[in-house]
Structures are given as structure tokens and as C-alpha cells.
Amino acid sequence: MDLSVQIGSLRLTNPLIAASGCFGYGVEYADSVDLSSLGGVAVKGLFLNPREGHPPPRIVETPAGMLNAIGLQGIGVHRFIREKMPELRARRATVVVNICGSTLDEYVELARILSDVEGVGALELNISCPNIKEGGITFGCSLTGTYDVVNGVRKVTRLPIIPKLTPNVTDVASFARASEDAGADAVSLVNTFLAMAIDVETRRPKLSNIVGGLSGPAIRPIAVRMVYECRQMVKIPIVGMGGIADARDVLEFMLAGATAVQVGTANFVDPFIWTKLLAGLEDYMARHQVARITDLIGALDTGAREKEWTSS
């Protein structure tokens, strides 16, 4: 049974990637989880410099989901390379570095720096964090901004580039297209949905940042639909995410057109989810006699309902 998938020049041993912002820098989990057993580890978003992020409360639970407004707290790219990369290399993790910029130049500089670092497998471009005002989402909500960031980074790196797209736009597929046109190797989607929760007793927002990003099972059907829409629009691989909590959810994204997936919020609930997801995928492949998991990518049968109807 072959679970490996390909994202540009990067081969993943399986399609499961720990989602950025949900797995620290990976090293936090190294004693509990065999990092090399994951398809990839997308580390917490990095700017050039350290950031403190937003004051608490930074998360709040909502039905079948959660809002977060962490504010991209992080140690900056230099400390990451110095303090985290050695262990990630030693644990043989496939590292996807998520980078964030306040300016186009910052993305380019981050890409340039990381291109020379041994063990970096790919760059995920965070142009979609809903929780910070400057940069990031400004690029991700503009087709030309998206094109410019991807194109700028493309010029300085041979690493696979994966822009992470926001769902908070009218037509996410057009952003996937802009990314492809600019030379992206893949796109990942979706980041969180901009959302809000209010304590009616105190009349105060439940997050210090007032608004935050919604993740978890609540968003999964919308995310699957968006992956499906992007699949029609681009040829490059899609990394699907949004509320995946079990192997069937992984398969849903892959059938809709995702080559790989990221798991975020569910890892908070169950840090040992990875072996369960892999076992579930293998069970499905055995039951459906699928030798290569790539055979499932975009294998959605939209004619099925009609066939069932006519054959009965």
C-alpha cells in the first residue's frame, strides 16, 4: 500500500501534515509523536523578528469549533533556525516552514534565508491570518497581492512554495489560480473563517482581539467545497484543511481534490491522532482495494447519485 504523495519536488511519505499554528514548532510533540511518521510538520508562522502576539483570552470554544486570535506570537526566523531546526532534523521531520510578512520584502527575505537551511522541505506562505492588521491577509485578499508575494518568493527560492489561502474572499479559486500563475507549487486551504463570539452577560467580546478565526469540525463542509472549487480551477496540488478529525474527513478532502491535508484543531483534542488517521486510511484503502492513495485524489464521482437513481 502506497500512501506517499508529491508536492512539487517534495515527497511526503503520507498525506498528513500537522497544520501551522496548531503544532508549535513541532519539537513540543517530539517526545509524544514520531515526527518522521507524519507526512509533514508545518511549523508556527514566522516573521523575521520575534512577536509577542495578542493578550489573552486568545481562544474560545464555539459549537463544534473554536475561535482563535493568537496574533502570530513567535520567536522569529533566526531563533527558529538556531533553536528548533537541529531537533527537527534529528527527528527526521519533513519540515514545512510557514512564513509571514508585513511587507513583500519580508516574505522574500524570509524565503532567501530559509532556502539555505538544511532540512527545510517547503515554504508555506501565510497570506491569510485573519488576526493581524498589517501584511499577511492584505496580500491574501487581493489577487495582485497574492500574485506579487508568490512571484517575489519564487524568484529567490527553489523550495516548493505553498501559499496558504484565506476563505474570507468571494472566490477562493481565483486566488488559487493567481498563485499558480505566479509559480506556486501548490496551494493550501483553508485558513480560518473570520468570526466573533460575545458574552451576553457582560456584553464583552470573548476574545481580547474582538474577532478571531473559526476552525474545527464546524467549518469542514465549507472547506471541502472550497477545495473542490479550486480543483476545477488549478492543476497544481492542493493541501486541504478545515476541521479534519478522523480518517473519513481526510478522504473527503482527497476525493474533493486535495493531494495532502493538514490537521490542526483535532490535534489539540488528541495529540495521538496521527496513528489513528493512518490506520483509518490504510483500512479504507484495503476495503476499497486502492493500492496508491494518489488514486483517490479528485476521485469524486459526481455522477453517482444519478446512477443509483436510474439503476433502482
Partner 1 sequence: MPIDVEAPVIDNRRLSGEYNVLALAAPGIAAQARPGQFVMVKVGHGHDPLLRRPFSVFEILRDASGTPTGLTILNKQVGVSTSRLFDAAPGQRISCLGPLGKPFTVDPPGEAWMVAGGVGLAPFALLAEVLHARGTAMTLFYGARKAGELFYLDFFAQLGVRLILTTEDGSRGERGRVTGPLEREFAARPASAPVLTYACGPEGMLAAVARVAARADRPCEVSVERVMGCGMGGCYSCVIPVRGDDGQPHNVRSCIAGPVFAGDAIVWE
Alpha-carbon distances of 295 from 5, 246, 278, rounded to whole Å: 10, 20, 16
Q: Which of 8, 183, 271, 298 binds partner 1 (CB under 8 A)?
A: 271
Residue 93 engages partner 1 in binding (rule: CB under 8 A) = no
Shortest Å, Cβ 24 to partner 1? 5
Q: What is the DSSP string of 127-179?
A: ---TT-SSSTHHHHT-HHHHHHHHHHHHTT--S-EEEEPPS-SS-HHHHHHHH
Q: Which of 94, 157, 192, 267 binds partner 1 (CB under 8 A)?
A: 267
Judge residue 217's burial from the number of C-beta atoms within 10 Å of its C-beta, 0-12 exposed, 13-18 middle, 19 or more buried. Answer: middle
In the chain, count H helices and then E strands.
11, 16
Candidates 98-106, 111-119, 210-218, 233-241; binding stretch for partner 1 (CB under 8 A): 210-218
Nearer to partner 1, 216 or 257 (CB): 216
At 113, give phi and psi (nearest 5°): -65, -45
Q: Which of 41, 60, 149, 261 binds partner 1 (CB under 8 A)?
A: 60
Residue 68 engages partner 1 in binding (rule: CB under 8 A) = yes
Shortest Å, Cβ 132 to partner 1? 14
Of residues 18 through 37, those in contact with partner 1 by CB under 8 A are 21-24, 28-29, 31-32
Write out the catalytic residue numbers: 129
Residue 217 engages partner 1 in binding (rule: CB under 8 A) = yes
CA nearest to 3, candidates 223, 251, 273, 299: 251
Shortest Å, Cβ 301 to partner 1? 27
Residue 270 engages partner 1 in binding (rule: CB under 8 A) = yes
Judge residue 284's burial from the number of C-beta atoms within 10 Å of its C-beta, 0-12 exposed, 13-18 middle, 19 or more buried. Answer: middle
Which conformational region is residue 29 in: left (phi greater than 0), alpha (psi within -120 to 50 degrees), or beta? alpha
Nearer to partner 1, 48 or 187 (CB): 48
Residue 286 engages partner 1 in binding (rule: CB under 8 A) = no
CB 64 within 8 A of CB 219: no
CA separation for the pair 112, 154 (Å, rounded): 10
Residue 224 engages partner 1 in binding (rule: CB under 8 A) = no
Shortest Å, Cβ 125 to partner 1? 20
Where on the chain is the footprint of partner 1 (CB under 8 A)?
21-24, 28-29, 31-32, 44, 52-53, 56-61, 63-66, 68, 70, 73, 216-218, 245, 265, 267-272
